[in-house]
Chains A and B, each alone.
Chain A
Amino acid sequence: MRGLMRGRLGTAAGFALGAVLLLAVAPAVLPAFSLALLGKFLCFAIVAVGIGLAWGRGGMLTLGQGVFFGLGAYIMAMHMKLADASLFGGSGVPDFMSLYGSGEVPGWWEPFRSPAVTLLAVVLIPGLVALVLGLAVFKRRVKGAYFAILSQALAAAFAVFLIGQQATTGGSNGLSGFRSFFGFDLQDPNNKVMVYMIAAAVLLLSLALARQLMHSRLGELLVAVRDQEERVRFLGYDPATIKTVIYVVAAVLAGIAGALFVPLVGIISPADVGVIPSIAFLIGVAIGGRATLLGPVLGAVGIAAAQSGLSSTFPSFWLYFQGLLFVLVIGFMPGGLASLPSLVGRRRKTRAPAPVPAAPAPPAAPATSPAADEKATVPEEARR
C-alpha cells in the first residue's frame, strides 16, 4: 500500500512536471526548428502510448500501427491539400492532381473538404478499421501469432495501395507542401508553436487516459488476459471484447498522432506507414519498458531523437544499430530499461517478464517498475 501511495503521488507530481516541461519550458527555450522536431517525436510518443497498452499490457503484438497512423495522417493531409487549393489556388483542385491525375478531385476526397468531417474521420476511421480487424481476429480466437502477421500484412497492403494510387494519393511521393492548417498560415512561427502545443497536450491527455485505463477494472482484466487468457474466459469475461476495445484505443491514438504529424512535419508518404516503420514504433516501447506507463513515451522520444541525430550522419550505422537494439533489448532485456532496478537485484531475484507466455509455459512474474508505475502488474504467483 505504501508503494501504491508513493506511486500515486509520484505519478501526479511527474505528470505536472512533464506538463510544465512540455507546455512552458520547451516552447520558451527551444528554437523553432527544434520545437517542430520535438513535436514530431511527441507524435511518435502518442503512438507509443497506444502500443504500450495493446502490446505491453495486453500482449497483442500489433505490427500494423503504421496503418492507423497513416490513415489519420492521410485524412488530415487530404483536408489540408483541399483547403490550400481553395485558399491559394482558387481552383479547389490540389496541385499534384493536375500533374499526375485527371485534374479532377475524386469523389472519396470530397468529404474531407469539411474540417468537422476531417476531425471526426481522423478518430473514427482508424478506430473502425481496428474494430473490424479486432473483432474478426479476437472473436474467432485466432492465435496471437496470426494476429501479428495479419496486422503486418495490413501494413504491407496499405503501403502498396498508397504507392499504386499515384493520381489520388501522390503515390510514393506522398502528400506534401502544405501552407495552411484550418485557416492558420503555417509559415507563421506562432502557428507552428500552436501545433506543437496541441501535440504536447494530446500526449499528456493520452497518458492520463492510459493511466486511468491501467488502473481500471478493464486494465486489470487486460493484464489478466495477457497472462492467462483461458482463465479469464472461465471467469465469465470475454477476452475478445477486452482486447478489441484496447486495440481500438491504440488505433485511435495512432490516428490522432498521424493527423498531428502532418502539419508538424509537412509531409506524409508511404515510407512513413509501411511494414518497417510500423515495427520500428515497437522498439522505443520495448526499450522504455513495454508494460509501464511512461516507459513507452520516453523510449519512443529517445529512439526518435537518436534516429534523427544519427541516421543522417551515419545512415549505415543507424540501421545496424536499430537491428541490434531489437536483438539486444527484446532478446536480453524484455522488460526494457524500466526493469533495470529489479535486474540489478535490489529485490528478490525475479525472472524476466514473459508478456506473452506460450500456452504451456510456466507463468513468469511480469516486471514491475517502481520508477514508472508502481502498480504495474500483479505477479501470477505471489510466493511470499
Chain B
Amino acid sequence: MELLIGQMFAGLSLGSVLLLAALGLSLTFGQMGVINMAHGEFMMAGAYTAFVVQKAISDAGVSLLVSIPAGFLVGGVLGLVLEAVLLRRMYHRPLDTLLVTFGAALILQQAARDIFGAPSVDVRAPAWLQGNLEVLGAPIPLTRLIILALSLLCLAGLILLLKATPLGRRIRAVVLNRDLAETSGVSTRRSDQLTFFIGSGLAGVAGVAVTLIGSTSPYLGTNYIVDAFLVVVAGGIGQIKGAVIAAFALGVLQSVFEYSTTASIGKVLILIVIVVFLQLRPQGIFSLKTRSLA
C-alpha cells in the first residue's frame, strides 16, 4: 500500500513538473504555432535566477519567495527579446521557428556555461521544506508537495487570466482565428508579445521550482524540453486542459514504467504509448473544432 501511494505520488510529482514546464509551451505553441526549443533554456535561466537570488539573500525561505517572481521576470524578458528579434519575422514559417529557437538555446546554454561554469550548482531548499509528510504510512517529500502546489497555482492563474480578463479573451480570439481577431480590432502583435512573455515567464517559474528537487546545470533545459513537448503533443495544441491531463498521465506512466522496467526502457515505452495514442487521436486529447483542413 505504502509502495503504491509512493509510486502514485512520484508520478503526480513528475507530472506536476512536466505541467509547469509544458504550460507556457502549450500557450505559445497554441497562440502562434511557434515551437520554442529555447523554452528549456528559459527554465534554466529561472533556475540560475534562484541561484543568484540565494547568493544575495542568504535566508533560503525568503530567497525562494523572491525567486519565483524574479524567475518569471527573467524568463519573460528573455522570451520577449526572442520574440522581438527573431520570431516576429517568422510567423509564416512555424516549423523553422523550431530550428531558430534551437540556435538560441545553444547560445543560452553556452552563455550559462561561461557565466556559471559547466559543473552543476545547488540551491538550498528552506529548512521548513526539508522532511516528509506521512500519508497513509508513505513518506511524501515536502519539496515535491510544494512543486505540486506551485504548478496548480500557476495553472489556476493561467486559467483565470484566459477566462476572466480582457487580455485572456483577446488571446483566445487569436488562437481561434488570427485574421478575424485582427480585423475585429484585436492587436495580434501585442497579444503575441504578451503571450510570449507569460509563457516564457512560466518557464522561468518552472526553473525555480526544479531547483528544489535537483541541482542546476547548463543542461537543465535539455532534460525537460522533449518531455514537455510530448505533453503538448499528447494534450492537443493550445489546450490547457489537455496539457493537464497529458502531463499527469505521462508522469504516472513514466514512474510506473521506470518502477517496473528501467529508466532507459521506460523512455522508449512512453514514446511508443504516445505514438499509439496519436493513432487514435491525431489531434491530441482535445482539439479546437474548426473547419480548416489542417
Name A residues whose Cβ lies closer than 8 Å to a Cβ of B: 59, 61, 63, 133, 136-137, 140-146, 148-150, 152-154, 156-158, 160-165, 230, 275-276, 279, 282-283, 286, 316, 319-320, 322-327, 330-331, 334, 354-362, 364
Query: Please, which residue of chain B has its CB at the minimum distance from the CB of A326?
Result: B103
Q: Cβ of B264 and Cβ of A324 under 8 Å apart?
A: no
Q: Cβ of A146 and Cβ of B233 under 8 Å apart?
A: yes
Residues of A within 8 A of B96 (CB): 330-331, 334, 355-356
Residues of B within 8 A of A286 (CB): 99
Q: Cβ of A150 and Cβ of B92 under 8 Å apart?
A: no
Nearest chain A CB to B37's CB is how many angstroms away? 8
Q: Is B95 an interface residue (CB 8 A)?
A: yes
Nearest chain B CB to A366's CB is how many angstroms away? 12
List the 4 closest A-B pairs by CB distance, nearest first: A164-B264, A326-B103, A323-B106, A323-B107
A123-B280 Cα distance, complex, nearest whole Å: 30
Query: Please, which residue of chain A has its CB at the minimum distance from the CB of B114?
Result: A316
Most chain B CB within a 10 A radius of its CB, from A140, A325, A361 = A140
Most chain A CB within a 10 A radius of its CB, from B113, B263, B278 = B278
A299-B7 Cα distance, complex, nearest whole Å: 49
- Of B86, B232, B271, which contacts A154 at CB under 8 A? B271
Considering only residues 105-145 of chain B, those with a C-beta below 8 Å from chain A are 105-107, 109-110, 113-114
Q: Cβ of B292 and Cβ of A359 under 8 Å apart?
A: yes
Main secondary structure of the interface of A (DSSP, over half): helix
Nearest chain B CB to A29's CB is how many angstroms away? 35
| Interface-located stretch among B62-70, B194-202, B222-230, B241-249 | B222-230
A313-B232 Cα distance, complex, nearest whole Å: 40
Nearest chain B CB to A54's CB is how many angstroms away? 12
Residues of B within 8 A of A156 (CB): 226, 267
Q: Cβ of B103 and Cβ of A148 under 8 Å apart?
A: no
Q: List 6 A-B contacts (CB under 8 A).
A: A137-B278, A150-B278, A161-B265, A326-B99, A327-B86, A360-B292
Q: Cβ of A230 and Cβ of B293 under 8 Å apart?
A: yes
Q: Cβ of B100 and Cβ of A330 under 8 Å apart?
A: yes
Residues of B within 8 A of A163 (CB): 264
Q: Cβ of B33 and Cβ of A149 under 8 Å apart?
A: no
Q: Cβ of B263 and Cβ of A160 under 8 Å apart?
A: yes
Q: Cβ of B92 and Cβ of A361 under 8 Å apart?
A: yes
- Of B104, B179, B232, B292, which contacts A323 at CB under 8 A? B104
* Known A146-B233, A150-B274, A157-B267: A282·B95 in contact at CB below 8 Å: no
Considering only residues 235-279 of chain B, those with a C-beta below 8 Å from chain A are 237, 262-265, 267-268, 270-271, 274-275, 278-279
Q: Cβ of B275 and Cβ of A136 under 8 Å apart?
A: yes
Most chain B CB within a 10 A radius of its CB, from A149, A162, A165, A364 = A149
Q: Is B282 an interface residue (CB 8 A)?
A: yes
- Of A141, A327, A357, A359, which contacts B100 at CB under 8 A? A327
Q: Cβ of B107 and Cβ of A327 under 8 Å apart?
A: yes
Q: Cβ of B278 and Cβ of A140 under 8 Å apart?
A: yes
